[in-house]
């Protein structure tokens, strides 16, 4: 019984982090600096597919330059793992502007049903 409850709690946390990741990739969210800023942890760090490194302020600036009517980022094969209570790792492949990337994100629960991404990495994917 306890194992089943733990499994359900893990699935719920993973689902919440997945929903936050999907929101963070939406053009509407990315174009809104305050909205994307709420999803990024103050200690956010990213290794981008270009090889560049971004912190919180640069990531908000780059994301908020998104055209809300522009081409969306497509996501496939999204999967997740509960690393520890309140810490979820997600993996997926994205496609944008004809480029595919393998991506990994680490999400931290900061309040009930509220998550922030604190690390992200994108690596160019084979075509």
Q: What is the pLDDT of residue 93?
A: 97
Q: What is the pLDDT of residue 6?
A: 78
Neighbouring C-beta atoms of residue 99, cutoff 10 Å: 12
Q: What is the pTM of this model?
A: 0.92
Q: What is the pLDDT of residue 103?
A: 97
pLDDT in tens, the chain (127 residues): 567 877 889 999 999 999 999 999 999 999 999 999 999 999 999 999 888 999 999 999 999 999 989 999 999 999 999 999 999 999 999 999 889 999 999 999 999 989 999 999 999 998 6
* Beta sheet of 114-124, edge-to-edge order: 53-55, 40-47, 114-124, 99-111, 87-96, 74-84
Q: Dihedral sign, CA of 87, 63, 56, 101?
A: positive
């Amino acid at each position: 019984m306890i194992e089943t409850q733990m499994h359900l709690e893990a699935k719920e946390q993973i689902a919440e982090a997945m929903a936050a990741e999907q929101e963070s990739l939406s053009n509407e969210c990315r174009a809104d600096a305050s909205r994307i800023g709420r999803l990024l942890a103050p200690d956010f760090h990213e290794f981008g597919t270009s090889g560049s490194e971004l912190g919180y302020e640069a990531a908000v600036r780059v994301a908020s330059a998104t055209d809300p009517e522009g081409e969306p980022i497509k996501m496939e094969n999204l999967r997740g793992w509960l690393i520890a209570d309140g810490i979820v790792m997600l993996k997926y492949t994205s496609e944008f502007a004809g480029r595919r990337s393998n991506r990994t994100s680490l999400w931290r629960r900061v309040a009930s049903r509220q998550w922030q991404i604190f690390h992200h990495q994108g690596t160019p994917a084979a075509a």
